[in-house]
Amino acid sequence: MSARPVTDVLGIRVHPTHCAAGVQVGELLGLAVRRNLRRAHLLVSTVLGKHVPTDPRLVYGSGRLLGGMVADGLAGQPVRVPASTSRLLRAALAGGDAAALCAAVAAPAAPADALVLGFAETATALGHTVADSLSGADYLHSTRRPVPGVATLGEFTEEHSHATGHLLQPLDPTLLAGDRPLVLVDDELSTGATALNTIRAVHRLAPRRRYMIAALVDVRSPAESAALDQAVRSLGARLTVVSLAGGRIELPAVLARHRADLGADQRATFEPAPPVDPDHRPGPESGRVELTDLGWPDALLPVGGRGGFTPAHRSVLDRVLPMLGEALAGAVAARPGDRVLVLGTEELMYLPLRLALTLADAHPDTVVCSSTTTRSPVLVVAASGYAVTSGVEFPAHDDPPDGPGPRYAYNLGLSGSPRWDRVVLVVDRAGDTPALHAPDGLLAALRPHAARILLVVTP
């Protein structure tokens, strides 16, 4: 293969159409290729903290900025982003002070009686962050991991995804009732098919007059936009869409051929976990803490939005997070100049993000990033201009109902001298299984990338 940028070889082009937040769509995403026949390309967000380790203040600030746009739309006001905030976003994307962006969008909007729904697994934290911007909003995210004993109130599909099924399992069934606006949040709005499937599923449960979609980027074609709007109108409802930026994706006619070209020359294989003695026990380079031991306030406080998250929950979490962050910082024991990665697991994105925020804010002399493991198989190519340049593969460790399978963590860096001085791996109780600690498990796969690993287990 030639030395041209990978995006040139792939033949994928991104053409900007609008930039509501003052940034172009190409600044908010990179490009990669899925190992998935349903959709060959993957848009990799630069502000989501999923596939790419990212400053948590940029991740949270971008989500709060999107939430402010949602608040304008719900209030019937023109959706606008102040020029000063746009400048802060551009500066943070360029590696500048992301804390300033966070501070500029920290104030919640006027209370809004709305339900915010995020999509598993990629947008669970983004949706939660948008809800944080709406001080009266409840939050729920879809899930691919049913909770025993909790009824499934709705189901819908995401046709292009690696795992297509989504479940709605609020602990309080009334969360989905009523006529209040429903705000759907995703990292990208690519065709509108998943959003429409969701709206139809919720509308069958509780018809409402107002739906809103919020996405970091909107790359629908004009025809797809018109079709989605018409489909929602046919339900007797109206739809508003907001995004930080928009564009059009130009795909080559035969992307599979380009995928084969890449695989023949530049594909980087997933790094296997290093051999580990089956009797190995974590030594001084590793550690484990329970969030309950660090001061988690209440066994009934949810760690995410799978079963619903209310303004009352948000108030408690905001109050205790600084204390939790200080206790976690003591366990991490990072030194000035250290690089720390807080790594969430699949749908568990929001709490790891907030923990990373507290670490970054309390210890500005430490470089803190956050990202999350994923089910999505992505072609890894160690080449300039490509969004996923390294990856580790490991078995699922949460006994998924659809059976065992591989999971991934991307852009940790190539092994050698560890890129991260500390990796803080956050798992929930269901994910703290023997498979996590196995010789081929996630903890073992992380060892080449970190001088020290701290396992944090949620209630």
Q: What is the pLDDT of residues 43-66, one digit of tens each?
A: 999 999 999 999 999 999 999 999
Alpha carbon of residue 243 to chain centroid: 16
In the prediction, which pLDDT does 81 show? 94
**Distance separating alpha carbons of residues 392 and 441, to the nearest angstrom:** 10
Give the model's confidence band at 34: pLDDT under 50 very low, under 70 low, under 90 confident, else very high.
Answer: confident
Which CATH number applies to 6-250? Answer: 3.40.50.2020
Q: 3-state class of 440 per DSSP?
A: coil
**Fold match between 6-250 and 286-457?**
yes
399: left (phi over 0), alpha (psi -120 to 50) or beta: left
pLDDT at 295 over 80: yes
Q: Work out the percent of the chain whose per-residue pLDDT is above 70.
A: 86
Give yes or no for residue 325 having a pLDDT over 50. Answer: yes
Counting Cβ atoms within 10 Å, is residue 289 exposed (0-12), middle (13-18) or buried (19+)? middle
What's residue 257's pLDDT? 52
Q: What is the pLDDT of residue 253?
A: 58
**pLDDT at residue 188, rounded to an integer:** 94
Pick the CATH number of 286-457 from 3.30.310, 3.40.50, 2.60.40, 3.20.20: 3.40.50
Ranges of each domain in the chain: 6-250, 286-457
What integer pLDDT is reported at residue 331 of this predicted model?
A: 94
Query: In DSSP terms, which residues pair with 117 in a beta bridge?
Result: 140, 184
State how beta strands 182-189 and 210-218 pair: parallel
Query: Would you say residue 1 has pLDDT above 50?
Result: no
Q: What is the structure's pLDDT at 277?
A: 47
Whole-structure pTM value: 0.91
The per-residue DSSP string of 346-398 comes to TTB-HHHHHHHHHHHHH-TTSEEEEEE-BS--B--B-STT-S---EEEEE--S
Range with lowest mean pLDDT among 79-93, 119-133, 254-268, 398-412: 254-268
311-320 per-position pLDDT tens digit: 999 999 999 9
How far are the Cα atoms of 223, 233, 314, 405 from residue 226, in angstroms, in the given order? 5, 11, 36, 38
Give, to the nearest 10 degrees, the angle between helix 222-233 and helix 193-205.
10
pLDDT at residue 280 tops 70: no
Position 430 confidence tier, pLDDT thresholds 50, 70, 90:
very high
Is a pLDDT exceeding 50 seen at residue 169? yes
- The DSSP code sequence of 301-353 is S-SSSSS-B-HHHHHHHHHHHHHHHHHHHHHH---TT-EEEEEEBTTB-HHHH
* Number of Cβ atoms within 10 Å of the Cβ of 179: 11
- Look at 128 and 147; give whichever has higher pLDDT: 128
Q: Which helix H or strand E contains 182, and what residues bound it? A: strand 182-189
Taking only the tens place, the pLDDT of each residue in 260-274 is: 554 444 444 566 555
* CA-closest candidate to residue 30, choices 434, 351, 378, 415: 378
Per-residue pLDDT at 255: 54
CA 90 to CA 415: how far, in whole Å? Answer: 31
Residue (of 250, 212, 254, 247) closest to 229 by Cα position: 212
CA–CA distance, 158 with 245 (Å, rounded to integer): 22
Beta bridge partners of 94: none
pLDDT at 284 over 70: no
Q: Is the pLDDT of residue 10 over 70?
A: no
Q: What is the pLDDT of residue 147?
A: 80
Q: What is the pLDDT of residues 100-113, one digit of tens each?
A: 999 999 988 777 89
Least Cα distance to 391 among 263, 261, 267, 255 occurs for 267
